[in-house]
Every structure is written in structure tokens, then in C-alpha cells.
Structure 1
Amino acid sequence: MSTDDRKKTACVTGGNGYIASVLIKMLLEKGYAVKTTMTWRRTPTSKPETNSIASWQKEVIEPAVRGTLNVMRSCVKAGTVKRVILTSSAASVIRTQLQGDGHVLGEESWSDVSTSPPPSLVSGYTRGHASVQVQAYPVSKVLLEKAASGFAEEHGVSLVTVCPVITVGAAPAPSARTSVPNCLSLLSGDEAEFGVLRAMEMATGTVALVHVDDVCRGEVFLAEQEAAAGRYLCCGLNTTILELARFLSEKYPQYTVKTNLLSGDLLEKPRVHVSSGKLVKEGFDCKYKMLDGMYDDMIDYGKALGILP
């Protein structure tokens, strides 16, 4: 078989994950041979432990950095990997202290990791990672990105990092632990999941959304673009909880938007906009830029996952 006839091969880690399951399907449809690994999630330690800063470091930060570097080392050892696409998160970009409105954040921005979260904000770890997701998660993403970047530079690895915002849409994965239940919480009435969504809006000044298909399309695009380098934000839409509630109420009247959750200080308009300008400049654009399109397959997926009745 000639070289031109051989399938391109991609390895996707965490193949049983939400984004990875869509990526694998997309790669197979494009004719790639796909190898994957499965992610095993261990049970968190007991809640007294999870209230400590030490456990925050042990349970969230260290596994993220160590796991990323282990994959990078394997790529170097294999000697056949042409490019590594690291899926990080816009959480590494948008957790910054900004005054006023109208800010546009790009790849040059980094979330503030100078302060550790107070123990009270870590106490939600044993219930769906609620508080840790908001507080420790951004720190883990900043540190793993910087560790991966340093390793890639030292070992001559072609590394591209994709930082998607809150990711929505249906996937082959039979579970979705964070963004999908968060973004359906106004319909499900799950106060803990809504609390995460609200905390993200308060911390970042926006509810920035992207469809999972666009994230995966972007990753394949960057894997195939020889000139691609550095970090890339992937965002289809900047909105707010109030705008989301109005949309859901009009689009899905068969569900009752849980207006009792909409108390306190909620934004009318985003104070911050996350920009995919770098991706767009290099020739990629999101297909899903409106809530209508992003939620088309979310309701049925939510039913399949047992989030919605």
C-alpha cells in the first residue's frame, strides 16, 4: 500500500468523555483510523478532606498536570506523533478581575491563579464538583497548559491548545457531568447545577457557549493546518442567564423555566466577550452562533441522560 493510500491515524485520550466521543465520531467519518484510551474516574475522598486546600491540590491540580505530561511523554516516546492537540478550557483565560464592561478576551489572557480558593468554596466537591469546578478548575487548566507548553518547547513537540467555552449539544457519550446539566438547569430545576452556571456568570461576566460539534471541528481543523500554533479560544456565542431563560421559555413552552432560580444580581447583557478571532482569522468559523441552533439537540439529549423528563 502506498503512503497516499494509508489512513491518517489519530489518538484521542479519554474516549468515553463528552467532547472526545464527538471527536472520535467525527474523525472516523473523515476517514481517520482512531485509537483511544478510556478515562477512569476515581471516587473523591471524604468531605472533611475535600474542605482542605491540600485536597484541592491533590484531587484537582496534580492529576490534571501529571496526566497531561504523561500523554506528552508518550508522544515523544512514540516518535510518530506529528501534532498534539490539547483540549483545555476557556476557564484558563476568563477568570480575571476586570473593571467595567465591554472587555474582549483573547488568547493572550490568563486566569488569575495567584490566590487559592477559600475552603468554603471547595466544600461542593463531593456533589458533582460544583464549587471546585468554579474555583479550582481554572487553576488546574492554567497550570496544565503552561506545563504542556514548557514540555513541548523543550522536546520539540508541535503543540496546539484549544480552549472551548461552556460546551453544549448532544454527544454519543452516555453521560455529561458538567456543562450539559448546567445549561439545562433552568428547565430541570436542579439548584446545584444552576448554582454552577450562576457562579460562572458572576466570575467571568458572561455565559459563553459553543456547540460540541464546533469544538471538534475546530480541533480537526487545527490538527490539519500546518501553520497552527499556540492557544485558540473556541466560542460561538456570549450570552447571559437572563437571555438564556427568555429563550428557553419561548422556545420550549412545554417546560416551565424555573424562574425561582432567577433571583439576585444577574446580568442583562454580557460584560465580557470571549473572542474566537484567532481561529476565524486562520480560516475557521463556528456553525452554531445562536441559542436556537445550540439547543436544537440538547433537549432530546437531556432526556436521554435523565436530566429532563
Structure 2
Amino acid sequence: MSSGDGRKKTACVTGGNGYIASALIKMLLQKGYAVKTTVRNPDDREKNAHLTELQALGPLEVLRADLDEDGSFDEAVARCDYVFLVAAPVNLHSKDPEKELIEPAVRGTLNVMMSCAKAGTVRRVVLTSSAAAVSSRPLLQGDGHVLDEDSWSDVDYLTANKPGPWGYPVSKVLLEKEASRFAEEHGVGLVTVCPVLTVGAAPARKIHTSADASLSLLSGDEAAFGMLKGMEMADGCVSMVHVADLCRAEVFVAEDDAAAGRYVCCSVNTTVVELARFLADKYPQYDVKTDLLSGELLEKPRVSLSSAKLVREGFEFKYKTLDEIYDDVVEHGKALGILPN
């Protein structure tokens, strides 16, 4: 993968210790990119072990940067063709979401955007937001609702009623809007991807929320199942995408000059009940914890998130069914210690 002058195209991926970021770094290296990534502490060998291993695949530079420090991303994005903005605060249980989640998320996003504007070489910034910025709203009545890029979570409703981890969707809406405003004012090419619950194996070794939630019916982890059930109650469905498809979608919208605006990234809309039936059938060696399936659960999704825009512009999902999506999820769960070997 080289640019016009014969050098390798260079991409920066922020937050290299994260689940999605680590999978994206691996894919970019495999595609022939030179990659720079940022972590808060490059000297933490244990946390960065997966990055050391990824350096065997190609040129990967690990740099120190912090979303809270102005200018700390300047070096990381300098001379980059593409910047994938993946790092963001995820403090779901903070006591003060305004101060501990929302403000740092917006400030950190603008910090990296500022560095991209300064660099002068960045052809496109791909911002990883979340479907939480699309689907969090008062419960929709009836069935058959389709949410897409024109849908925004209702910030007024969320801040007034404070349902569940309300600060997270608010942070995603506000950082998207601020990034978009900044990009327009400073002539930075920006595309936003809004992934749903993302599952599948990735190089980063730390356990992430989506792995716990997606395996909770097999592990019996009640808190993780609570998150899965909470998604269905809040959104009217459980929407999923495989991490490899998400990374392919991010690279697709980076490289496609015609890509613009937001993109929902979702390949399957399901429910907790459908998921339980599927898992019981596919993994009979695990007892699906049916005792968790109490209370009001949906038989079929009442709402679905649509990636029609992404598909219309030429992207094709590889993992389109629960069977395909879950192919490596259980092995990944064993590797992380969520499931017994």
C-alpha cells in the first residue's frame, strides 16, 4: 500500500491498547500500511505486549499521547495519510458523567482533530463513534422501526431522565457533532462510523465490555448479561457486528474518496431470546443459562439498525449471520478467561 511518491501509506490509530484499535492496527499492517499508534504509557510492557507482537507484521510505531493533553497527538498524526480516531473515555459507571465522561470525550476528540488540522497531510479522519449515538431515545411504540444515519440519540431526553449509563450516548452525540463542526471549519476530511455491539477475536488481551456481554448467556455472568438485556430494553433489539467487518468498514470509508458523513455498521439485528436459542444449538457443551431469561424479553427485534448506506456504496459484510459472527467468539472468550477451556 503506497502513496503516489512510492512511500508506504501511513495511518495513525489512536488508543492502540483498545479492542477495536488493536484489530484495526493488525488489518492495516496486513494491508501494507505503515502504522503509528498511541498509548498513554509506551513503557507498560504487559499492556503493550500485543503491539510488540504486531510489529512482526510490518512497520508499527508506538507513541505516547493522552486525550487530556493538548498537542500530545501532534507527533503521532504528523505525515499520516489517514487517522483513525478510536480512543475515547468509556467510563460507564462514573458518578459524574458530565465531568468524567462527556467533557473529556469531546475535549479529547477535538484535541486529536486539532493535531490532524496542524499536520496538513491527513487526507481523511475516520471517527469511531457508536450506535449509542443513534438509538438512545424514548422507547418507540410498535414494531418495524428502522434507524439509520439520520437518527440521533435524544440528548435532551437522556440528560433529563438519566436512564442507565446515559452519559455514554450523550458523549458520543456531542463528540460527533463537535468533530463535524471542527472538520468543516478547518477543512479536515471527516467520516464517522457508528458500530453496534462488536464481537470477535482481536489482538488486545484485556477483557472488553462487548466480549463479556456477548458471552454472558454461556458464562452466566449476571452483570454482563444485565448489559445485554439493557441494550435490548433500551434499543428494542440487540444489534451486532464482527470486529473484522467493522475494521474493513473503517478502512473502506477511509480509502473511498466519495464516502461522507456517518455510517451505521451493523450486520445482524437480533434479541436476547433468539441469541439464547442460537447459542444452545451451536454450543451444546455449554449450558445456556436460561435462568437469566426472566422478565420481559422480545421474541423478535422491534427496532433494527440499518447499514444500507454502507452497502449501497459498495461495502459487503463477510459475517452476516449469528453463526458466522460467533465463529471465533467462543475461542476468544476462552483465551480471555471468560469461558472455561
Q: Same fold (TM over 0.5)?
A: yes
- For 1:185-229, what per-residue CA distance to the aligned partner results, in whole angstroms no more than 9, with x for missing partners? 001111111111111100000100000000000010111100111
SS in 2 for 1:114: helix
- For 1:263-283, what per-residue CA distance to the aligned partner results, in whole angstroms no more than 9, with x for missing partners? 000000000111001001100
C-alpha separation between the residues in 1 aligned to 2:155 and 2:251?
Answer: 30
Q: Larger relative contact order (C-alpha < 8 A, sep ≥ 6)? A: 1
C-alpha separation between the residues in 1 aligned to 2:283 and 2:143?
Answer: 31
Q: Residue 61 and residue 270 in structure 1: after superposition, are their counterparts in 2 closer, same or farther (change >3 A)?
A: same
Alignment of 1:97-116 (within 5 A): 97=138, 98-115=140-157, 116=159
Per the TM alignment, residue 96 of structure 1 is displaced from its structure 2 partner at its CA by 2.4
Confirm or deny: 8 A CA contact 2:90 2:101 kept in the other structure: no
More helix by share: 1
Name stretches of at least 5 consecutive residues in structure 1 with no aligned partner: 122-130
Name stretches of at least 5 consecutive residues in structure 2 with no aligned partner: 42-65, 69-88
Corresponding residue number in structure 1 for 2:127: 86
The alignment's C-alpha RMSD in Å is: 2.1
Corresponding residue number in structure 2 for 1:62: 103
Q: Residue 30 and residue 44 in structure 1: after superposition, are their counterparts in 2 closer, same or farther (change >3 A)?
A: closer
1:28 paired to 2:29 = yes
Confirm or deny: 8 A CA contact 1:117 1:136 kept in the other structure: no
Letter in 2 for 1:296: D
Confirm or deny: 8 A CA contact 1:21 1:172 kept in the other structure: yes
Alignment of 1:12-23 (within 5 A): 12-23=13-24
1:228 paired to 2:259 = yes
Corresponding residue number in structure 1 for 2:174: 143
Corresponding residue number in structure 2 for 1:199: 230
Corresponding residue number in structure 1 for 2:202: 171
SS in 2 for 1:37: strand
Alignment of 1:1-309 (within 5 A): 3-39=4-40, 50-51=94-95, 55-97=96-138, 98-115=140-157, 116=159, 131-132=164-165, 135-309=166-340
Per the TM alignment, residue 32 of structure 1 is displaced from its structure 2 partner at its CA by 0.4
Per the TM alignment, residue 44 of structure 1 is displaced from its structure 2 partner at its CA by 11
Per the TM alignment, residue 89 of structure 1 is displaced from its structure 2 partner at its CA by 0.5
Confirm or deny: 8 A CA contact 2:90 2:168 kept in the other structure: no
Q: Residue 214 and residue 44 in structure 1: after superposition, are their counterparts in 2 closer, same or farther (change >3 A)?
A: closer
C-alpha separation between the residues in 1 aligned to 2:101 and 2:8?
Answer: 37
In the superposition, the TM-score normalised over structure 1's length comes to 0.90
- For 1:228-274, what per-residue CA distance to the aligned partner results, in whole angstroms no more than 9, with x for missing partners? 11000011100000000001111001111111110000000000111
Letter in 1 for 2:302: R
Corresponding residue number in structure 2 for 1:126: none
SS in 2 for 1:256: coil
Question: What's the % identity of the aligned pairs?
Answer: 69
In the TM superposition, structure 1's runs of 4+ consecutive aligned residues that sit over 6 Å from their partners are 40-45
C-alpha separation between the residues in 2 aligned to 1:234 and 1:277?
Answer: 9
C-alpha separation between the residues in 2 aligned to 1:240 and 1:174?
Answer: 28
C-alpha separation between the residues in 1 aligned to 2:22 and 2:40?
Answer: 12
C-alpha separation between the residues in 2 aligned to 1:143 and 1:19?
Answer: 21
Q: Residue 276 and residue 29 in structure 1: after superposition, are their counterparts in 2 closer, same or farther (change >3 A)?
A: same
Per the TM alignment, residue 24 of structure 1 is displaced from its structure 2 partner at its CA by 0.5
Per the TM alignment, residue 4 of structure 1 is displaced from its structure 2 partner at its CA by 4.2
Letter in 1 for 2:142: G
C-alpha separation between the residues in 2 aligned to 1:300 and 1:266?
Answer: 28
SS in 2 for 1:5: coil
Letter in 2 for 1:113: V
In the superposition, the TM-score normalised over structure 2's length comes to 0.81
C-alpha separation between the residues in 2 aligned to 1:117 and 1:216?
Answer: 35
Letter in 2 for 1:73: M
Confirm or deny: 8 A CA contact 2:3 2:9 kept in the other structure: no
Q: Residue 2 and residue 94 in structure 1: after superposition, are their counterparts in 2 closer, same or farther (change >3 A)?
A: closer
C-alpha separation between the residues in 1 aligned to 2:100 and 2:187?
Answer: 30
Q: How many residues align?
A: 291
Per the TM alignment, residue 3 of structure 1 is displaced from its structure 2 partner at its CA by 3.9
Confirm or deny: 8 A CA contact 1:85 1:160 kept in the other structure: yes
C-alpha separation between the residues in 1 aligned to 2:196 and 2:224?
Answer: 17
C-alpha separation between the residues in 1 aligned to 2:107 and 2:290?
Answer: 42
Per the TM alignment, residue 117 of structure 1 is displaced from its structure 2 partner at its CA by 6.4
SS in 2 for 1:107: coil
Per the TM alignment, residue 39 of structure 1 is displaced from its structure 2 partner at its CA by 4.8
